[in-house]
């Protein structure tokens, strides 16, 4: 049984259909379970957490709370969140169980929160699905292995970059 709180992160893809997932996985009797129940019972405008399902009435195990990082900007964006992004997250969780990143024994005793970014400009449902599936599976694997390593973090500290910003390397740090 895994009693530790596992936190994972993954960014997959590029452009408007990229996926960015943060995961929190832990025992239902611990902080992950408390956060899961509190988030489900405390929706806010535009951010309504819901249980991820593989299909209607078939929630993925461990029970996964899908929390969107961006409020739906329009109907199409909402459909991409509730449709392909949710399906990708649910499938990615099932993949993590199948590949052993989440122990089968933990699927009824643990809770998972997936914070999910779907860009309001996303425009390709199949790519949103694939990227969210892979990002979820990878975030959970990273959390299970306590990645990134501290050495990797320290090695990257002088050259941080992300899809929205790259520092000017000609200026002093």
Active-site positions read 20
Q: Which two tokens stand for residue 77?
A: 């964006």
Please check whether residue 133 is in contact with residue 35, taking contact to mean a CB–CB distance below 8 angstroms. Answer: no
Sign for the pseudo-dihedral over CA of 44, 46, 51, 56: positive
Residues 6+ apart with CB under 8 A from 172: none
Give backbone dihedrals phi and psi of 9, rounded to 5 degrees, phi first.
-150, 145
Q: Which two tokens stand for residue 6?
A: 């596992």
């Amino acid at each position: 049984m895994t009693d530790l709180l596992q936190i994972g992160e993954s960014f997959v893809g590029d452009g408007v259909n990229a996926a960015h997932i943060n995961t929190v996985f832990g025992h239902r009797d611990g902080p992950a379970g408390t956060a899961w129940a509190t988030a489900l019972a405390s929706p806010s405008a535009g951010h309504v957490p819901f249980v991820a399902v593989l299909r209607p009435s078939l929630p993925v195990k461990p029970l996964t709370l899908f929390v969107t990082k961006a409020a739906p900007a329009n109907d199409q964006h909402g459909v991409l969140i509730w449709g392909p992004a949710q399906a990708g997250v649910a499938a990615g969780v099932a993949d993590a169980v199948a590949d052993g990143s989440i122990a089968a024994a933990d699927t009824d005793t643990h809770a998972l929160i997936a914070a999910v970014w779907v860009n309001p400009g996303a425009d390709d449902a199949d790519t949103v699905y694939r990227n969210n599936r892979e990002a979820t599976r990878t975030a959970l694997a990273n959390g299970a292995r306590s990645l990134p390593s501290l050495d990797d973090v320290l090695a990257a500290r002088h050259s941080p970059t992300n899809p929205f910003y790259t520092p000017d390397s000609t200026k002093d740090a």
